Each structure stands twice: as structure tokens, then as C-alpha cells.
Amino acid sequence: MSFSKIEDIEKRTFFYLCGFSFFLPLSKAVGNIFLALSILGLIHRLFIKNYDVKLIFHEYKKIFYTIAFLLAAVFISALTSADVLYGVKKFLEKYISHIAAMLPILFISCDKEKIFTLAKLLLVGVFFSNLSVVIEGFLNFNKDVWRFGGFLTSMSQGSLLAIFLPVYAVLIMHVQNIRLKKFLIAATIVGFLAFLFNGTRGVWISTAFLIPVVVLIYAKNKVKAFGILLAMLIAVGGIFLTTPALSERLATIPNLHMRSNSERLLMWQSALNMFEDNPIFGVGYGQYKFAYQNEYILPEAKERNLEHAHNNLIQMLAECGIVGAAAFIFLWGYFSYFSLNCWFKEKNIAWLLFFCELWGIMLHGLTEFNFETSVNSKIFWYSLGLCIAYTQIKNFNPKN
């Protein structure tokens, strides 16, 4: 294998992407090593062969313009912050490095099998991440409250579940390969157990909404799909009602006096106060923690060392103002339109799966700040890259 032959560069980069796909849901550190190697492989590849870059950017220019709008809004906010250097550093760390996860897969030659390999490795990584939660849960079964994250923090793992449980639901209906379907069923069972042991209420709410939506979007027989969903709802409801730790936690969702609920309301009010005082560009990207802890924290707040607003949109309003929030909402809206439009027009399963991931992270992001979390954010952007790469394959078999 030569060092500078384009085929060998792409083989090495594909190998790095395999490592990144598998370890991304399991270990931030190991995943970052493989991502860095993938980026280096991409740079080497583009140094030798780069004429196709314009073709891909032109074909999906509206997607890239949408991303550029968000990047510009956050970067401008960083430049207007009290600590410009910190804001720019955080911008590079949370946006540029995360979005870079989608790039290597776009510019190496991948056939259908390679795309499927990367997607399967990601699913296997998620399976083991969920399995770690289940094992941790069974080892601590007698605890009153189940809040387990396995290899990740409980909230990051919760977002992972919010993203992939709807994906499982669509894939089980879609795939025809028996071995893959059996794996997906097993992964769904493990994911459901992790869903219970993780105990993140925002995930419970988001998946209860999103899974029926995507199942009904995909299903040809809507009446049958509705009946199955109803039966599943009754079964899951029975599990919650007969398990004290689950039923007690479920009952806290509408309780505004519960500490985590009341604290969220207080921090949201503080963040909105930041926005009212700084409506255009916010307090400055990267300045939420300082502004909250030193100026905007309400006297009745008990949790006084929080670093984010536990809500993607409210965080964006506080830090980046109406400009950043508008860019964020536009990205959410346009990506939703684009993915559903591609599904209904082309029946391309990749875009329906991306819709699951987009809404999984965004719905959980209404009660948790997960858009910049390393694992969740990179999975989101990497999945977008996989979808674009998949649609580049003109002879794909949509039922594989």
C-alpha cells in the first residue's frame, strides 16, 4: 500500500471511519482519535484530488448554506462577546470540530457496501452503549431512582436513546435481511431496557411522540400500524405502572415544585432575561456560564453552578440572540422539510432515518442542552454525512 496513491489514501480513511463509527457512541476519547485520523486522511486526499468538492457542495448547496448561516451567526456572536478568544475557541471546539465529522465520508469513494458497513458499525456501537446501561441498571436494580448512563453521562445516553429508538422502529419495518432484522429486534429490546434504566423523562416524552409519528409516516397500512402502536403503548404503560421507580418518576413530569423542574423554569427565565437585555447577538457565544452565575441567576435558584440552560433554543437565544436563534430554527425547519420531502418523493430510507435523528435530538433538546454535546452532536452531523453519501450511490437497493 503506497502512501500517496489516491486509492490507498481512501482505504486508510475508510478504515479510520470504521473505527470512528464504532467508538463514537462508546468513548469520546477513542472516537476523537479516529475522527482526527479521518480528517487527516481527508486533507491528504483533497491535496491530491479535489475537483469533486464543488460537485457535492453544488448538489447539496442549500444544506451547506443552512449550515453556513448557523456557523456565521454563532461566530459573529463569539466576536461580540466579552471574551472573544474564549468564544472563538469554543466555536471551533463545539461547531467546527463537530461538523467536521460529516466531511470525510463525503469525499472518499464509497460503494453501497461500505456505506452499509459504516452504518452497521454505528448501530453496533450504539447497541453496546445501551447494553452498558442495562448492565449498570441490573447491578443497581434496588435503587429508588434509575438514572444510569453506562459509558456516557445519563443525559448524553438519554439523547442517544432519543435518536436511535425511532431509528430502530423504522429499520425494523424496512429491512428484509433476516439476520439484520434479528439484530435490530435484539437492539430494540436492549435499547428499551436502557430507556427504562436511563430514566431521562425528556427522552420518555420525545420517544412517545416521535416513534408513532415516524411509524405512521413509513407504514403503508396505517390502521394496522396504529393498532400495533396502541398495543405497545398499553404494554409499556403497564410496565411503568407496575414498577415503583418508574411510576414515581413518571409522576414527577407535571410537578412544577419538583426541584429539577422548578430549577429548569428558573434557569429558563434567567436565560430569557439575558436575551431581553441582549436581543441581537445575546450575551456572546461562550458567555452563558459567566453571565448566569455572576449576573442573571435568580435569588431563589438552588443550583447555582450550572453552565447551560437545559434547552437548545433558549441557550441559543441567551448566548447568540435572535440572530443565532433564527439560524438554529431555520436549520431545524429546513432539515425537517428536506428530509421528509426526499422521503416522500424518492422513498429514500436514509432521509427518513435522518429525520428520526434530527427530531430525536431536537425534542430531547427542549429539556436538555444536547446540540453541542460531543457524542450527540457528532452523531447528528456524521449521520447527515452518511445520508448524503448514501444518496450519491445511484444503484443502491432501497430494500437492503
In tens digits, what is the pLDDT along the chain, a chain of 400 residues?
Answer: 556 687 888 889 999 999 999 999 999 999 999 999 999 999 988 888 777 777 888 888 999 999 999 999 999 999 999 899 999 999 999 999 999 999 999 888 778 889 999 999 999 999 999 999 999 999 988 777 778 999 999 999 999 999 999 999 999 999 999 999 999 999 999 999 999 999 999 999 999 999 999 999 999 888 988 999 999 999 999 999 998 888 889 999 988 888 889 999 999 999 999 999 999 999 999 999 999 999 899 988 888 888 889 999 999 999 999 999 999 999 999 999 999 999 999 889 999 999 999 999 999 999 999 999 999 999 999 999 999 999 887 544 444 4
CB 330 within 8 A of CB 69: yes
CA distances from 216 to 200, 212, 220 (A): 25, 6, 8
Terminal Cα-to-Cα distance of the chain (whole angstroms)? 32
Domain ranges of the chain: 6-257+302-391
The values of phi and psi at residue 309, to 5°, are -95, 5
How many C-beta atoms surround the C-beta of residue 178 within 10 A?
A: 8
Apex 285 CA angle, 99 and 297, nearest 5: 130
Residue 290 contacts by C-beta under 8 Å, 6 or more apart in sequence?
82, 83
Listed in sequence order, the residues at least 6 apart from 300 whose beta carbon sits closer than 8 Å to its beta carbon are 266
Going by C-alpha positions, the residue among 376, 315, 371, 383 that lies closest to residue 154 is 376
Which amino acid, one-letter code, is at 317? L
- pLDDT in the model for residue 1: 55
Can you tell me the distance from the alpha carbon of 283 to that of 235, in angstroms, rounded to the nearest whole number? 47
Residues near 4 by beta carbon (within 8 Å), at least 6 away in sequence: 44, 48
Grid coordinates in use for 157?
445516553
> At a CB cut-off of 8 Å and minimum separation 6, what does 67 contact?
99, 331
Give dist(CA 45, CA 107) in Å, integer: 8
Give Cα 261 distance to the centre of its chain. 23
Distance CA 74, CA 88 (A): 9
Q: What is the per-residue pLDDT for 3? A: 65
pTM for the whole structure: 0.92
